[in-house]
Amino acid sequence: MLIGTGGTIKADLLIEGEKIVATGQEMDVPDAEIIDASGKFVMPGGIDPHTHFDLPMFDTVCSDDHYTGLKAAAFGGTTTVIDFVPQDHPTLQESIDAWHEKADLKATVDFSFHMNITRLDENIISEIPRLIDEGIASVKVFTAYNDRLRLQDGEILKVMRLCSKHSILTMMHAENGDVIEVLTADALAAGHTEPIWHAYTRPAWGAVESVLRGIALAEQANASLYIVHVNTAGGLDQIRYGQARGLPVMGETCPQYLFFTEEYLERPDGAKWICSPPLRKEEDNEALWDGLVDGGLQTIGTDHCPFFFDGTRAIEYEGEWIAIPGKELGSEDFTKIPNGLPGVGDRLPIMWTYGVGKGRLTPNQFVALTSTNPAKIFGLYPQKGALLPGSDADIVIWDPHRPLKYGLAHAHHRTDYNLYEGWELVGYPEKVFLRGQIIVDDEQWFGRAGMGRYIMRQPTGGVI
């Protein structure tokens, strides 16, 4: 059965070179090599709209680079990732160039870039429309991380207006930077160092209000808005409030916000679950599941940004022993724990078993949330996210019946832990193709560094 063709149909795909050239019934093409997928689902490769690779943070760097991370993505059935370019250089162009330098020769699946806008001046304003020439059709702004990543509301309004004019989509990290700043200073002053204080100092209501703030700014700017990593029921309430008033607001959540709660931060190994925004409560988990089903939320990303839990101990990766400073950096101070979780490879298998398998999502919704919608929103469609004539032959043959005890052994992230260690899965990628070439066959890896291609995206304004 083919999914990602607008529905689930029984048909053949004809691939020529990198492309799907036709879909048809009982096509009889002389000399074609035949791959039999009876009993399996054939889907467009997953698209992770929210990843970070090789990202410097605090005094270290996240433990996956564009080779290891994209390889892990591929094993999990994801063939395109959209990575965030930090605005680390004087110009956007230099920042982008630097990111290409990291990614281009290493990438093992296709990738594209979002641009973070974390500092605004006239030069940057003049550069934004030119992002399109770089194939970048989306920018992210932050209402949090005072003095580091945050833009002021007026600056965000200006970015949104400019983006709206050029059909570039604005994405937003919605937390209240001021609240976090005040609470963090207080917590440290009071001598609190444990991971749970990460959650206490980034309270849920700060996310709720800043979602609405983003919506209000977008309304004023006549812009579409994509809220990244929605983690609270209240944030979703406000997204729905905007949608019900006719505003083009979209929301993404991530698997970690569907399965885990603040209580994990209270474990001895709580640092493993440190991410921003933080995990919340069970009722938030439940509300976000509802949002995936009823259309309040449009996509599932990962915010993949892994660190070692214990960066003092090396692990083996492709024959090398690797150790990268990680979560232990914050063992005496929760503010020094690198923020982020592994996830790019876990996304599809986990969501299949716990979404489709548990009857919460249909196979079509699964593909829509993890591939087709990201493609449409971010200007990759129908090149990616679809099995249509003209689409790239990024294809996953998914075995819906394969049982697996998941964990570090199967996830190929370069880190020393997995959030879903020991979870029992049913359903897993069997074969993964990137533009017509097989890169994963069961447990075997046929990909190679540099075969992933940078994808120029079209500005769409992001409305689906």
- Dist. CA 160–CA 152, nearest whole Å: 12
Pairing of strands 225-227, 249-253: parallel
The neighbouring-strand residues paired with 61 are 56
Q: Should residue 382 be labelled a site residue for its own copies when binding is judged by CB under 8 A?
A: yes
- Nearest residue to 175 (alpha-carbon basis) of 164, 187, 184, 188: 184
Question: Binding segment for its own copies among 52-60, 99-107, 294-302, 329-337 (CB under 8 A)?
Answer: 294-302
In sequence order, what E strands does 17-135 have? Answer: 19-24, 41-44, 46-51, 56-57, 60-61, 78-85, 110-116
Q: Least distance in Å: CB of 250 to its own copies?
A: 11
Instruction: Sketch the per residue contact string, 321 through 360, with its own copies: x for CB under 8 A, - otherwise.
Output: ----------------------------------------
Residue with tokens 């937390």: 175
Question: Binding segment for its own copies among 78-86, 121-129, 253-261, 385-393 (CB under 8 A)?
Answer: 385-393
- Contacts with 95 (C-beta within 8 Å, 6 or more apart), sequence order: 85, 86, 87, 88, 89, 115
Q: Should residue 243 be labelled a site residue for its own copies when binding is judged by CB under 8 A?
A: yes
Question: Looking at 135, 325, 389, 436, which residue binds its own copies (CB under 8 A)?
Answer: 389
Q: Should residue 395 be labelled a site residue for its own copies when binding is judged by CB under 8 A?
A: no
Q: Should residue 183 be labelled a site residue for its own copies when binding is judged by CB under 8 A?
A: yes
Question: Binding segment for its own copies among 61-69, 171-179, 317-325, 338-346 (CB under 8 A)?
Answer: 171-179
By C-beta, is 135 or 389 nearer to its own copies?
389
Task: Return the SS3 of 380.
Answer: coil
Residues 398-437 that bind its own copies (CB under 8 A): none
Question: Binding segment for its own copies among 90-98, 154-162, 187-195, 262-270 (CB under 8 A)?
Answer: 154-162
Radius of gyration (Cα) for the chain, nearest Å?
A: 21
Q: Should residue 81 be labelled a site residue for its own copies when binding is judged by CB under 8 A?
A: no
CA distances from 330 to 159, 183, 233, 271, 274 (A): 34, 18, 29, 8, 11
- Dist. CA 155–CA 162, nearest whole Å: 11
Q: Least distance in Å: CB of 349 to its own copies?
A: 24
Q: Which two tokens stand for residue 266?
A: 């209270």
Structure letter (DSSP) for residue 271: G
Residues 192-211 that bind its own copies (CB under 8 A): 203, 205-206, 208-210
Count of residues touching its own copies (by CB under 8 A) = 68
Q: Which two tokens stand for residue 160?
A: 């949104």
Q: Least distance in Å: CB of 236 to its own copies?
A: 9
Query: Using CB under 8 A as the criterion, which residues of the chain lie in contact with its own copies when the complex forms?
Result: 4-12, 14, 19, 21-25, 27, 146, 152-155, 157-158, 176-179, 181-183, 203, 205-206, 208-210, 212-213, 215-217, 219-220, 237-238, 240-241, 243-246, 289-290, 293-296, 362, 372, 376, 381-382, 386, 388-390, 463
